[in-house]
A = this chain, B = another copy of it.
């Protein structure tokens, strides 16, 4: 890792594109004087965007041209085949060739996953990349993976996810021995499915701090585990269920407060509380999922991320760069395999 790390930003990705990425980049530029940023995307458009924000390129904030953009609904295979000069791919190339230490993109997950894997390759000993993010809970937060990179996982995959999640949690949250929980259900007579039960055995036999099964309601309760491991299908459904439910609850709260003049007055009076509450459950503060298992740091921002959310995603990249996350994952994996 260089003394002054460089982060490549896919400046065209996401639903908002440069209008979110550029202001976020400028926030980071001001906050981290030892950091370099590369804005990857259509030069003219990015140049104009920076000008509108009253900022000029310098050696710490520069534009790297890429002529194409991967569509948010574009299949990964099409992006891989037809968009070799996409902002996403070029940003990943910068990581590959060592020009950048990490890449942040709000582009479509499937394309980012597939291209990231193709360009950067997997870490030795890791079969599949996994998506991990921090999730708030009553007592703080935990990390959960995989959130959708893999649909059919073996127990070995789940074990590898646990290793990667453990390293990330220890690095990002400064926990010496992160507690690893395996997501399961408690309804069946014989708890859980075969893959989960076999993964539990692997984890029990390892040096990881495995604390056993956790259930869906433990995710937001907190206290159960620092890292929650599951396959990508389950993780993705759980995460999206949460997004939908939070939106519904917000909708109902708003509806009740805007029912009539009286309730609107109540809303005005309670505004400070409502604002504080909204901040507490603001998903933007948790934006930024790491694509683990690659030979390089790739952060996936939510597609709808705005300036604040994208800024958060860049800060996760910075933390991982400072801690050389991929190297630490490799070292941990080697250590665990040697111990066996």
**What is the interface of chain A, defined by CB distance below 8 A to chain B?**
75-77, 109-110, 113-114, 131, 136-138, 147-152, 183, 185, 187-189, 192-194, 215-221, 230, 232-234, 236-249, 251-253, 255-257, 259, 262-263, 266-267, 269-270, 272-273, 276-277, 280-281
Contacts and interface: CB of A to CB of B under 8 A. Distances in A.
Given A75-B189, A236-B185, A277-B256, A248 B151 contact: no
Please indicate which of the listed interface residues A114, A147, A215, A230 has the most CB atoms of chain B within 10 Å of its own CB. Answer: A215
A244 B217 contact: yes
A230 B236 CA distance: 13
B236 A256 contact: no
Contacts of A215: 236-237, 240
Contacts of A257: 270, 273
A277 to B, nearest CB: 4
A266 B269 contact: yes
Contacts of A238: 216, 237-238, 241
A339 to B, nearest CB: 31
Nearest to A153: B193
A137 B248 contact: yes
Contacts of A272: 262-263, 266
Nearest to A77: B189
A178 B78 CA distance: 35
A236 B187 contact: yes
Copies in the complex: 2
Contacts of A220: 241, 244-245, 247-248
Contact of A280 (B236, B239, B252): B252
B270 A241 contact: no
The 3 closest A-B pairs by CB, nearest first: A216-B240, A148-B187, A217-B244
Nearest to A250: B249
B217 A247 contact: yes
Given A152-B194, A273-B267, A237 B236 contact: no
Contacts of A253: 277
Given A216-B242, A216-B244, A245-B245, 10 more contacts: A110-B187, A113-B187, A185-B233, A215-B240, A216-B239, A218-B244, A219-B245, A221-B247, A237-B237, A252-B280
A259 B266 CA distance: 18
A78 to B, nearest CB: 10
B247 A185 contact: no
A57 to B, nearest CB: 34
Contacts of A217: 240-241, 243-244, 247
Nearest to A75: B189
A337 B284 CA distance: 49
Contact of A269 (B114, B138, B270): B270
